[in-house]
A = this chain, B = another copy of it.
Amino acid sequence: MAPSPRSASPRLQTAMDDVAESLERTLMRLLPDTDLPEAPLFDAMRYGVLDGGKRLRPFMVVEAAKLFNVDSYRARRVAAAIEMVHCYSLVHDDLPAMDNSPLRRGKPSVHIQYDEATAILAGDALLTLAFEVLSDAETHEDPRVRCQLVTELAQAAGGHGMVGGQMLDLIGENEEFDLGTISRLQRMKTGKLMCFACEAGAILGKAGEPQRKALRNFAHDLGLAFQVTDDILDVEADPSETGKPANQDDNAGKSTFVSEMGIQNAKERAEMLVGQAVRHLHVFGGRADILRDLAEYVLSRRM
């Protein structure tokens, strides 16, 4: 199973474990074992997406969907689609031509476990499958809702979202970025998909714009806080806990929040962002307590 978050409240820990477990079953149903001649492709897809990570985005989808009493099966399908997109981006990011990371979560990356060609194709197929899942009538009976999910995932993940952010990230290896550009990069690379994860619950529940906006803003601030703490952990954390080498960004010559503002300011910025994120949730009252816990956890996490 996915490693448990280290400093989560017992309530948050239980809720995250529950989502991770049910997501795993959903992913396994969507990606069954096969003995077709092209099986290595599906093996690599399963290797890239199963049994991995904190499942932060799926957790956001499922918990946001609960605010609108959305059927949990539907929420899990959308969560699975978003996690496929997140994982495909990791598979491609790890490739030799990109970040050249032999390890992911302490295990060999997909291109090491299989080979580069299979890793490229497995990423492509995961991205494609995400859209197939969202557009299927099992995800929602209203085709308007399904189309909106497809459009918003594509916008969050494409050239003006995640992939554009990865391009910026690569450019940043040879160019010094100012804080504004680093913020924009992170918003594109990770923020937009997190925003979509939170908003997807509201889309499934056909929520009104004020509630959608609250979730979008919550995710925006939390996503940025998450990235700032990622940069802090990159400098401070124990590699045996994070499963990746320390000072990776610094070694790659990348500008990060820490390199640009110093570690103390970065910690203050993360706290400020989390406070701001939590304030966006006031429209949901006590029903959003678990999302508040999640925000607090981002500050205290050690991996």
Query: Which residues from chain A sit less than 8 Å from chain B, CB to CB?
Result: 36-38, 40-42, 45, 88, 92, 95, 97-98, 115-118, 120-121, 123-125, 127-129, 131-132, 134-137, 142-144, 146-148, 150-151, 153-155, 157-159, 163-168, 170-171, 181, 188
The DSSP consensus for interface residues of chain A is helix
Do A128 and B127 have beta carbons less than 8 Å apart? yes
CB neighbours (8 Å) of A163 from chain B are 41, 121, 124-125, 128
CB neighbours (8 Å) of A153 from chain B are 131
Evaluate whether A95 and B118 lie within 8 angstroms (CB atoms) in the complex, with A45-B159, A147-B147, A158-B129 already known. Answer: no
Do B115 and A135 have beta carbons less than 8 Å apart? no
CB neighbours (8 Å) of A120 from chain B are 92, 95, 97-98, 120
What is the distance, in angstroms, from A223's C-beta to the closest C-beta of chain B?
18
Compute how far the CA of A171 lies from the CA of B114 in the bound complex, rounded to whole angstroms: 12
Do A129 and B147 have beta carbons less than 8 Å apart? no
**Residue ID in chain B nearest A100 by CB atoms:** B117
Residue of B37, B40, B125, B157 touching A181 (CB-CB under 8 A) = B37
Residue of B142, B147, B159, B171 touching A42 (CB-CB under 8 A) = B159
Do A151 and B168 have beta carbons less than 8 Å apart? no
What is the distance, in angstroms, from A129's C-beta to the closest C-beta of chain B?
6
**Residue ID in chain B nearest A173 by CB atoms:** B117
Evaluate whether A168 and B37 lie within 8 angstroms (CB atoms) in the complex, with A131-B150, A158-B129 already known. Answer: yes
Do A164 and B40 have beta carbons less than 8 Å apart? no
Of the listed residues A95, A129, A151, the one surrounded by the most CB atoms of chain B closer than 10 A to its CB is A151
Compute how far the CA of A132 lies from the CA of B188 in the bound complex, rounded to whole angstroms: 17
Compute how far the CA of A136 lies from the CA of B151 in the bound complex, rounded to whole angstroms: 7
CB neighbours (8 Å) of A151 from chain B are 132, 135-136
Evaluate whether A168 and B38 lie within 8 angstroms (CB atoms) in the complex, with A147-B146, A154-B128 already known. Answer: yes
Residue of B37, B124, B146, B159 touching A129 (CB-CB under 8 A) = B159
